[in-house]
Amino acid sequence: MVQSRPASSSPPAAHHPGSPLPADDSYARVADAELERVLTSFDTCYVWRYGSVQEGLRDLYAKAKRDQWDAALALDWSIEVDPEEPILPEAINPLLGFAPYERMDEREQKRVRHCQIAWQLSQFMHGEQGAMIVASQLVGAVPWMDAKLYASSQTMDEARHVEVFSRYLRTKLEWEWPVNPNLKRLLDTIIGDVRWDFKYLGMQILVEGLAMAAFANLHQLTNEKLLKDLIHLVMRDESRHVAFGVLSLQDFYADMSGSERRDREDFVIEACELMRDRLVGEETADAFGFDREPYRQAMVESPILQLFRQQLFSRVVPNLRRLGLLSPRVRTAFDRLGILQFEDADPAAQDAALGLV
């Protein structure tokens, strides 16, 4: 069970969703006040057998060490970014045709686009923090030394990802959004579960699989050089993280009893339903005086976003199949969500096509 409580019952005065961050150091004071504690409990294990037991994990760890990078040096942070200029092409803006958006003047529309990209990157940043916490939990929880070594390297990778997204948001976009409640619900479930394989399944297979597809989409669409370079470096790491999950779990579910397996299937179905249609960012509507429900509806019905949300699952579904979790129940649910079409997709080929391996 997840128990959480905010450190303070009232929000900090200077951090309003929808307002650009203050440029001075008052941001640091506001952020310090935003702390949430989650009580977790899971078995932590020593492993006294230091040799390899899971084929492939040592190689992946060797690659992880070899491919470390320093976010301060690997990216050109001197690039100037104008957040009012389209970071994503206007032609794919899902709000085109949404009457309240169309009625705005050009200056207001620029501000909406600035908000959209800030919201999206903010969710990436919060997801990266979740990944950093879960990777650190896996170091303690996972029962093989190879996986402890790998998860240690992943914890550092995720720290770097938090660093780059937060730096980009703070210094280039100067606008940051709180975590979306549905994303937060999924992160809470993964962080709070006592079973180590749920942490893998939730983070390495689902969240990171979805993130890889979202990153690939953003990388392809943006012409903003710093963001493009940043995303490419993050994707190189994420591609390994998904492989870590698949390698670690590939034989794990084969002998699992019916009821235990059913728990995993329920979790997969619920998480995919949550991520399929409930991550549209209707909270941003408030910043522009749009009503949330018509805004949410416009985002859900946008043909561009419908396609995008389906493609988010192009790595998740084939990887679940490799783990033996694409049971008839899961297939029925995925068919309903319109994502079963990806069961024969090849994530390794997708990564190779993007130059990541």
And the tokens for 254?
A: 């084969």
- In one letter, which amino acid is 297? Q
Minimum CB separation of residue 241 from Fe ion in Å reads 4
Minimum CB separation of residue 158 from Fe ion in Å reads 5
Minimum CB separation of residue 225 from Fe ion in Å reads 21
190 binds Fe ion (CB under 5 A): no
Distance CA 309, CA 272 (A): 11
Of 81 and 156, which has the nearer Cβ to Fe ion?
A: 156
131 binds Fe ion (CB under 5 A): yes
Of 133 and 299, which has the nearer Cβ to Fe ion?
A: 133
Minimum CB separation of residue 278 from Fe ion in Å reads 21
Of 306 and 350, which has the nearer Cβ to Fe ion?
A: 350
Distance CA 168, CA 102 (A): 29
Point out which span in 105-113, 162-170, 232-240, 303-311 binds Fe ion (CB under 5 A): 232-240
199 binds Fe ion (CB under 5 A): no
Minimum CB separation of residue 257 from Fe ion in Å reads 30
And the tokens for 179?
A: 């975590």
Distance CA 117, CA 108 (A): 15
Point out which span in 51-59, 91-99, 180-188, 236-244 binds Fe ion (CB under 5 A): 236-244
Of 222 and 239, which has the nearer Cβ to Fe ion?
A: 239
Residues in the interface with Fe ion (CB under 5 A) total 7
**Nearest to 234, CA basis, from 120, 346, 67, 119:** 67
Point out which span in 2-10, 63-71, 187-195, 208-216 binds Fe ion (CB under 5 A): 208-216
Of 114 and 315, which has the nearer Cβ to Fe ion?
A: 315
And the tokens for 132?
A: 């950093």
Minimum CB separation of residue 31 from Fe ion in Å reads 20
Of 146 and 265, which has the nearer Cβ to Fe ion?
A: 146
Minimum CB separation of residue 246 from Fe ion in Å reads 13
And the tokens for 73?
A: 């040096």
And the tokens for 158?
A: 């995720």
Distance CA 191, CA 141 (A): 12
162 binds Fe ion (CB under 5 A): no
Point out which span in 64-72, 87-95, 152-160, 216-224 binds Fe ion (CB under 5 A): 152-160
Residue from the set 126, 161, 172, 236 that interacts with Fe ion by CB under 5 A? 161
Of 176 and 237, which has the nearer Cβ to Fe ion?
A: 237
241 binds Fe ion (CB under 5 A): yes
Residue ranges in contact with Fe ion by CB under 5 A: 128, 131, 158, 161, 208, 238, 241
